[in-house]
């Protein structure tokens, strides 16, 4: 286990009243549905992380990304 906390970022993508979700394939939450996202890299902003993760996971680019909120939890 890492001595440093990992910061997770998720992107809520809306279009025509629909939200984009995908099914998790990894060990954490495998088989569950979730929004695109991942862990923040060193020196990266929340917006930069969301843009990178959305592109990596969906091949899509975010148009006009905006910061919404922060929460704190242990996974």
Q: What total of structural domains would you count in the chain?
A: 1
Whole-number pLDDT of residue 28: 80
The whole-angstrom separation of Cα 36 and Cα 34 is 7
Whole-number pLDDT of residue 6: 86
In a domain, 71, yes or no: no
Domain span at residue 12 reads 8-58
Whole-number pLDDT of residue 1: 60
Whole-number pLDDT of residue 2: 65
Whole-number pLDDT of residue 67: 94
Residue ranges, the chain, pLDDT below 70: 1-2, 75
Residue 44, CA distances (Å) to 5, 9, 47, 72 in order: 15, 11, 8, 19
Q: What angle do CA 57, 59, 61 make, to 5 degrees?
A: 105
13, two tokens: 């993508």
Question: What pTM does this model have?
Answer: 0.84
In a domain, 73, yes or no: no
Whole-number pLDDT of residue 35: 96
Residue 4's SS3 state is coil
């Amino acid at each position: 286990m890492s001595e440093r906390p990992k910061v997770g970022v998720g992107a809520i993508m809306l279009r025509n009243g629909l939200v984009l979700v995908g099914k998790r394939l990894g060990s954490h939450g495998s088989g569950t549905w979730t929004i695109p996202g991942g862990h923040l890299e060193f020196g990266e902003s929340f917006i930069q992380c969301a843009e990178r993760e959305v592109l990596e996971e969906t091949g899509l680019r975010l148009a006009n990304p905006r910061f919404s909120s922060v929460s704190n939890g242990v996974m």
